[in-house]
Amino acid sequence: MNANTQELHGLGQSLWLDNISREILANGTLARYISQLSVTGLTSNPTIFEKAIGSGSFYDEGIRALKQQGRSGEDLFFALALQDLQQAADLFRPVHDATGGVDGWVSLEVSPLLADDTARTVQAAAKLHAAGARPNLFIKIPGTPAGIPAIEESIFAGVPINVTLLFSREQYLAAAQAYLRGIERRIAAGLDPKVESVASLFVSRWDVAVKDQVALPLRNRLGIAIALRTYKAYRDLLGSARWQKLAKAGAHPQRLLWASTGTKDPAASDTLYVEAFAAPDTINTIPEATLKAFADHGKAGATMPVDGGSAEAVLEEFRRAGVDDNALAKQLQREGAESFSKSWQALLSKIAEKSALLEA
């Protein structure tokens, strides 16, 4: 087992791979990451699947078979994606069972085209989770204004949820409150309160957004400050009387997940966000290149301070430089949803194109 990645596990942090493809399943790469690099879960999104299906011929046979069954469009894609995710979920099942359901998860996102439709998001989440037929399959719902009530309803319905596209403390807290309400409603209804969830905070996009607006000393510091501030809110919530009551009833905490942790600035360390976010009871989902870099030369260092450390002071520096973090958080979430929608459309176009070529 790699010493660097194992060190993070020793601190109580899970390492998940932010990628999936039929290729890494078929050639044993994912199994090797599990056995050698301490990977205990993975996440996917429309952009990841767009790249995977658009590269090579690994999906051709699957597309051909599903097309012959009369499937097309989103229906064909979800069937294709679930084939991958079921295989990955089975690889992570031993971890899932050993941790009592806390770790060992894979994630599948509802259609990004539903980002503003609460009712259809709830329906889609339930349908996808049932179709996946794996206890360690998260359904990803964006933490948008329409997504928040869908998260509550899905948790109440017993569907494990990965809340995606969170960019600030306030957006995280909205998702956390939705999770708490869902669990509280289950307890009131006499249902099992143990429905797992994670809340995914996107980090590196902050630094990309302000790179050309701030002086060099402020570069690559905003995302870390936002994460520190959010981590304080997370620890405060876990210490609250409201949460302690639910924990005593048997609920598991909604864990905080660091997403978008690949370094975008070539002038910065390629392990910047992994080293900065070493913290117990959290997850870091990282791209393959970042995982390999950390395994090679990363160092966990000190754990994140539970009081937020220098977050507020750093954020004040950015405000003096003209950065409105509240407005930017909303902008980043909106742009993130739009980006996934574009990838979704490109993904469906790629599948249609491949289907036509295979038929010909």
Give the residue ranges of DSSP H helices in 110-259. 118-132, 147-156, 169-188, 204-210, 222-238, 241-248
Does residue 51 carry a catalytic annotation?
no
Tell me the C-alpha to C-alpha distance, in Å, between residue 157 and each of 101, 120, 150: 17, 14, 10
Catalytic choice (51, 127, 140, 299)? 140
Dig out the tokens for 219 from the structure.
């570069």
Alpha-carbon distance of 183 to 166, in angstroms, equals 20
Q: Which residues contact 27 (CB under 8 A, 6 or more apart)?
A: none
Largest separation between any pair of C-alpha atoms in the chain: 63
* Contact predicate 277/284, CB 8 Å: yes
| Number of helices followed by number of strands (H, E) in the chain | 16, 8
Mind giving me the DSSP string for 240-278?
Answer: SHHHHHHHHTTPPP-EEEEES-S---TTS-TTHHHHHT-
Please give the Cα distance from 335 to 206 (Å, whole number): 12
Name the helix (H) or strand (E) containing 109.
strand 106-109
Q: Catalytic positions, please? A: 140
